[in-house]
Amino acid sequence: MFGYNSLAINEKGNLTISNVDAVKLAKNYGTPLYVVDEVEIIRRCREIKQNHMDKYSGRAVYASKAFLNKEMCRIINREGLGLDVVSGGELYTAKSVDFPMDRVIFHGNNKSLSELEMAIDFGVGRIVIDNFFEIENLNKILNHKNKTIDIQIRVNPGIDGHTHDYIKTGQVDSKFGFTLYDGAALNAVKNVLESPFLNLKGIHAHIGSQLHQKDIYITEVKVLAEFIKNIKDEFNYEIDEINVGGGFGIFYTEDDSRKLINYFTDDINLTVIKEFSRLNLKRPVVIIEPGRWIVGEAGFTIYTIGAIKEIPNIRKYISIDGGMADNPRPPLYGAKYLALIANKITQLEEELVTISGKCCESGDILIKDIMLPKVESGDILVVLSTGAYNYSMASNYNRLPRPAVVLVNNGEHRLIVRRETYEDIIRNDV
């Protein structure tokens, strides 16, 4: 359905997610409910493995900010990918299930001293250095611990990705990474090479998120290759790995076309091969950091429809039992979603409605203008492509408990994150 591998209709005429009835899930676990299809996550990890890791001897690390909990770490571990973390909390989650630390890459534009210490003590595979302050801090900590660490340097490639302003990172005016054009990046390399504690392994860049154009990645590879050539010319130092970041776009609505991973990875890898050979550089290992692409289309949110308000000739508001607290993306980025009524999946879409959340904000609108079958209170709404940056960005706004997460796998279902309770809400109040 809409090209989602996870969705189908069962004999009752209900929507199924990985062969589990969505109406039954709502009854069993309550709503709002995040549902994640393990089959689809695994399928996507394997697509990456085949088309990037095996085909080009590349590496892939899952950008865990998209969706992380213990079970997700276990899945990623089993599939043989690495993990990109950006905080002590993400790192701690990985450690708690014995995720192999040598496959962890630690990012962030303002890692605290304690986060850096934690990463060093845990023995993460790479720290991606973002700024001069971090070089100083790492030198101090490593000197004190008498240890060395493998690092990558994050540069800002000066590329403006075609995506929402808030999720662009590669343009010059960005808080992330060392700027190339003013010499800061080359200076960072000099500082790192002078340090007895930092082993420079790779150069990293990340342009932005939900990108659909592969030409942006081609440009990125060319910019990074030129920079690596500069490093060789200036310091006679060869870089082993190039990390092009993540950002591969997925399907949310008909505005987005669904892409196989090799739409991006073939061009990235072929450009690396061509450019590095042209510049007489050794061919580096290519690392990608997909987050949304792995989990976005594997996730769905189930809500129960409550109040319905019709303003004649203006709008019909359908209120759900969740909203911006479990999915802040529509108010934050103007993100658009498709949705289905799980118990009316075979009925014709006959009315134009607006899906509103239950938070005390007029802007808490999940979907503005969507055609649905005639909706009644008690119907079960399923919003599609909510696997990435929904659960991970959820809040307790209005003191709403965060929903549970259920993993479905071809007819099986099990809880992987418990629903928060009111006790959880007041747990840290003194």
State yes or no: residue 106 binds ligand PLP (CB under 6 A).
no
Q: Which residue is nearest to ligand PLP (CB)?
A: 291
3-state secondary structure of 105: strand
Pick the binder of ligand PLP from 82, 284, 290, 299 (CB under 6 A). Answer: 290
Of 276 and 389, nearer to ligand LYS (C-beta) is 389
290 is in an annotated binding site: yes
Helix crossing, 70-79 with 88-96: angle to 10°?
70
CA distances from 397 to 66, 70, 332 (A): 20, 24, 14
Which residues are registered as beta bridge partners of 16? 8, 21
Pick the binder of ligand PLP from 38, 115, 289, 364 (CB under 6 A). Answer: 289
| Alpha helices (runs of H) in 180-299, residue ranges in sequence order | 184-194, 214-235, 262-278, 292-295
Burial label for 111, CB within 10 Å (0-12, 13-18, 19+), is buried
State yes or no: residue 52 binds ligand PLP (CB under 6 A).
no
Binding mask 199-218 for ligand PLP (x = CB under 6 A): -------x--xx--------
Residue 355 interacts with, from ligand PLP, ligand LYS, none (CB under 5-8 Å by kind): none
Determine contact, residues 351/420, Cβ cutoff 8 Å. no
Residue 317 interacts with, from ligand LYS, ligand PLP, none (CB under 5-8 Å by kind): none
| Contact region with ligand PLP (CB under 6 A), list: 34-42, 46-54, 283-291, 406-414 | 283-291
Cα 300 from Cα 325, distance rounded (Å): 15
Residues 211-270 binding ligand PLP (CB under 6 A) are 245-248
181 is in an annotated binding site: no
State yes or no: residue 157 binds ligand PLP (CB under 6 A).
no
Determine contact, residues 375/305, Cβ cutoff 8 Å. yes
DSSP symbol at 5: T
Pick the binder of ligand PLP from 4, 227, 276, 293 (CB under 6 A). Answer: 293
> Catalytic: 360?
yes
- Residues with catalytic annotation? 360
Residues that bind ligand PLP (CB under 6 A): 63, 66, 84, 107, 169, 206, 209-210, 245-248, 289-293, 388
